[in-house]
């Protein structure tokens, strides 16, 4: 508790030692951090991070309960956050965002319409959440000022999976837009399915048209008991990569026109921890990274074959406890890990040739960090 209580003092001292007093340059990124607030965290924190030097400084914060996942609008003017609760307090909140100083001004909150929202994205004039315990996804139109309007659609799913304890019902864990902007993919950890929806870009607040409509085919199945959690796409848009929480497997797909075609399955978690979490491709498209929790907490590293997009094991980096989420700087030089139970964001330097990660010895103290986003 003493360590957490002195967060701002610690952050301030480190900021002074790590960042000189100067104007923000093109290499200084604004980063938003979502947290769990059961300890001393206030909610969302913002930082300046220099992607060339690894230096940082604290900027601002905003009070909100359990903002476990964040989305920054494409124009960097707004931040949207879930409040991950399953007791009636679950909500989605909109903030006006000043990228220059990291300030967040609350606009409004609306009910999430699904228990334990754990993922959120912006999609043009809409925001979409994945609701874990609710087994659903919720669609929210946006007003002209960036604030949230009540949900226009809640899509609920049915079914169960092979694992009777973890897959007793649908557990939506991720929603992602395809690189071509035409489809939304929704990962259901509870039923080993990836649902696909076509996006109606003409839908807007006040229209009677649905933003999402089941695609053809409407669903892809993965191996029973896998527990699909997060999906990401290669920079060239030709491949998709799925991390499965329960099996610890990464599944690589060829992607085209809303269709996934499996090309390889490879293990990220070889310890059987059943806690794999997040997945990202490096900006240069050469490497794939996946986080694992609960045992041998760390980041699995894969090379990506440039001819066919298939992942090949390249290494492993142990990290602090519970690396739920991580992020790579746009220039590819650093990988930052939100180590939830270590109460720190760890900073690793990434070798562009081997893909391997080296600790820098620098870290950003934050209570229970679980989501990292750069304003690009």
pLDDT score recorded for residue 4: 43
- Name which of 235, 356, 241 is nearest 310 in CA terms: 241
pLDDT score recorded for residue 21: 39
> What is the value of pTM for the model shown?
0.93
pLDDT score recorded for residue 24: 62
Pairing of strands 153-156, 136-141: antiparallel
DSSP 3-state of 338 = strand
Distance CA 71, CA 120 (A): 6
What's the gap between Cα 231 and its chain centre?
Answer: 10
Q: Mean pLDDT per 10-residue run, the chain (376 residues)? A: 38 41 75 98 98 98 98 98 98 98 98 98 97 98 97 98 97 98 98 98 88 97 98 98 98 98 98 98 98 98 97 98 98 98 98 98 98 96
Length of the chain (residues): 376
pLDDT score recorded for residue 206: 83
**For residue 327, is it left (φ>0), alpha (ψ between -120 and 50) or beta?**
beta
pLDDT score recorded for residue 207: 84
**Where do the domains of the chain lie?**
1-63+319-376
Distance CA 126, CA 315 (A): 39
């Amino acid at each position: 508790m003493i360590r957490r209580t002195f967060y701002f003092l610690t952050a301030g001292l480190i900021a002074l030692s790590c960042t000189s007093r100067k104007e923000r340059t093109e290499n200084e990124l604004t980063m938003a951090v979502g947290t769990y607030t059961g300890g001393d965290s206030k909610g969302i924190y913002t930082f300046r991070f220099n992607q060339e030097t690894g230096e940082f400084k604290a900027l601002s914060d905003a009070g909100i309960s359990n903002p476990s996942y964040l989305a920054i609008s494409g124009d960097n003017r707004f931040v949207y956050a879930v409040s991950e609760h399953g007791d009636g307090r679950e909500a989605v909140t909109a903030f006006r965002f000043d990228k220059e100083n990291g300030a967040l001004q609350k606009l409004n909150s609306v009910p999430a319409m699904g228990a334990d929202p754990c993922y959120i994205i912006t999609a043009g004039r809409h925001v979409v959440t994945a609701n874990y315990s609710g087994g659903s996804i919720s669609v929210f139109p946006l007003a002209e000022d960036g604030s949230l309007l009540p949900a226009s659609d809640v899509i609920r799913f049915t079914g169960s999976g092979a694992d009777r304890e973890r897959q007793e019902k649908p557990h939506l864990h991720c929603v992602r837009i395809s690189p071509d902007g035409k489809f939304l993919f929704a990962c259901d950890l509870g039923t080993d399915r990836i649902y696909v929806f076509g996006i109606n870009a003409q839908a807007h607040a006040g229209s009677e048209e649905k933003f999402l409509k089941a695609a053809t085919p409407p669903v892809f199945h993965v191996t029973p008991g896998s527990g699909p959690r997060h999906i990401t796409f290669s920079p060239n848009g030709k491949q998709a990569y799925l991390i499965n929480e329960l099996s610890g497997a990464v599944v690589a797909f060829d992607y085209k026109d809303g269709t996934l075609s499996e090309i390889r399955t490879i293990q990220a978690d070889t310890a059987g921890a059943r806690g794999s979490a997040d997945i990202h491709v490096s900006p240069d498209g050469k490497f794939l990274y996946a986080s694992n929790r609960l045992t041998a907490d760390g980041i699995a590293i894969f090379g990506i074959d440039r001819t066919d997009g298939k992942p090949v094991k390249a290494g492993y980096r142990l990290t602090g406890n519970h690396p739920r989420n991580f992020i790579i700087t746009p220039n590819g030089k650093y990988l930052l890990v939100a180590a939830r139970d270590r109460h720190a964001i760890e900073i690793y330097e990434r070798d562009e040739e081997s893909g391997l990660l080296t600790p820098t010895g620098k870290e950003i103290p934050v209570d229970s960090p679980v989501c990292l986003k750069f304003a690009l």
